Chain A
Amino acid sequence: MPVVEFRDVGYEIAGKTILSHLSFAVEAGETLVLLGRSGSGKTTALRMTNGLLFPTAGQVLVEGVPTGQWDPIRLKRRIGYVIQEIGLFPHFTVSENVGLVPKLEGMGPADLDRRVDNMLQKVGLSPAEFRSRYPRQLSGGQRQRVGVARALAGEPAVLLFDEPFGALDPITRRQLQQQFLQLNRDFHKTTIFVTHDVREALRLGTRIALLAGGKLETIALPAEFRLAQTGEAQAFLEDLEV
């Protein structure tokens, strides 16, 4: 059974079609990249996975259950979410940020401390140095690492990334991509990753789904995607040759 499945999903708002007839499945442990331009509907599709939005046609299933039938709070705590603006809580320390979901789930202080330290180590931040800092005392790359640690700390079934590295400089971006691949090897989390950067898609994805105008244009392994002949895929691939 796929962990996440989109079945003929459509989304309309105020008479405007954002997504139509979108179907794909994400299998356990894979990283599906949703690639597309701005306005292609990729972020909308992502936000449907954890119930921030609901489809106006078709169904999104998480662990076999349509998102509409999940308890909305349970669904969100079951799914880790990393967004571009990060959204760390400015009045929480790094450890309070990372420990948020386990704490909401009622984890005791000793277990919580262990979990937080473990997660910080996994994203390459020394717990002793970082746990009591506030987000404003971190660099952009460090903040994003904390964002990833926070998403992982609740032991989610699925991880969602919405252009998480988009605002970083190219070198930091590259480091975080390496970190992402390392985490993938360690945790084997089922992941959906939204980006408009074809290099990032090819580097991180186990499969790439290309969205154009709210429709799925191609879904392929990275090696196949490099050979894709559709217009939109060509447009993205040209970017690689520069």
Chain B
Amino acid sequence: MRADLADDILRHTGEHVELVLIAMVVAILLGVPAGILLTRRAGLRKWFLGFASVVQTIPSLALFGFLIPIPLIGGIGPRTVIVSLVLYALLPILRNTFVGIAGVDAAVCEAAVAMGMTDGQLLRQVQLPLAARTVLAGIRVATVTTIGTATIAAAIGGGGLGVFIFRGVASVDSAQILAGAVPAALLALLADWGLGCIERRLASA
């Protein structure tokens, strides 16, 4: 019995980590380039940041409800969960990338342009290195919230540590709830600590 539970916790933790990792990789691959694009195209700013902010206000269960009927991205299972996790993670990443780059000292950027850097060189050699810490802070916030939000995945058959929580709530079993909540909290703390370490290393460089 004991060993079974331990196995279960490990398996669902694995699923949970997988959901979060896939969602974060996709969110970073979308959010960072979109944030960079916003620093180049002022006209898009309002729309992108507005869209991402609106998504954040939708309760996660409601978002699942909206997504399930949509072909390709919807349905029951992990795919819908990942899509919604990506949508939630986008705002902090998008906003921090934009704010980080826009916040680089104007005199430094002007000097780079006046030295004859191309836009790509300005971005890679000056803006991204100087904005890295802010971008990473956005990724950290997004990762920690995604680990928490991913517990809802179990509601639509997405697996993860939420399985214990939903089971525990249904059977009024606190031990079951804790079997999901404690590992999820530990994962969040671990991610926060790990990404925080990288952030501090960037700061001292």
Within 8 A of A (CB), among B30-54: none
Beta-carbon nearest neighbor of A96 in chain B: B125
CA distance A50 to B111 in the complex (A): 12
Which residues of chain B are within 8 angstroms of A100 by Cβ–Cβ distance? 115
Count the B residues whose beta carbon is within 8 Å of the partner chain — how many?
A: 18
- CB contacts between A and B, total, < 8 Å: 55
Beta-carbon nearest neighbor of A75 in chain B: B116
Which residues of chain A are within 8 angstroms of B113 by Cβ–Cβ distance? 52, 76
In the complex, what's the smallest C-beta–C-beta distance from A100 to chain B, in angstroms? 6
In the complex, what's the smallest C-beta–C-beta distance from B192 to chain A, in angstroms? 25
Q: A90-B130, A91-B205, A104-B121 are in contact. Are A85 and B116 (CB under 8 A)?
A: no
Which residues of chain B are within 8 angstroms of A87 by Cβ–Cβ distance? 105, 107-112, 114
Q: Chain B: interface secondary structure?
A: helix
The answer on a CB contact under 8 Å between A52 and B116 is: no
Count the A residues whose beta carbon is within 8 Å of the partner chain — how many?
A: 21
- Residue B174 interfacial (CB < 8 Å): no
- Residue B21 interfacial (CB < 8 Å): no
Within 8 A of A (CB), among B87-122: 105, 107-118, 121
User: Using a CB–CB distance below 8 Å, which chain B residues touch chain A?
Assistant: 105, 107-118, 121, 126, 129-130, 205
Can you identify 13 A-B contacts, CB atoms within 8 angstroms?
Answer: A75-B116, A76-B113, A76-B114, A76-B116, A77-B115, A77-B116, A81-B111, A83-B111, A83-B114, A87-B105, A89-B112, A101-B115, A150-B115
User: Using a CB–CB distance below 8 Å, which chain A residues touch chain B?
Assistant: 50, 52, 73-77, 81, 83, 85-91, 100-101, 104, 150, 154
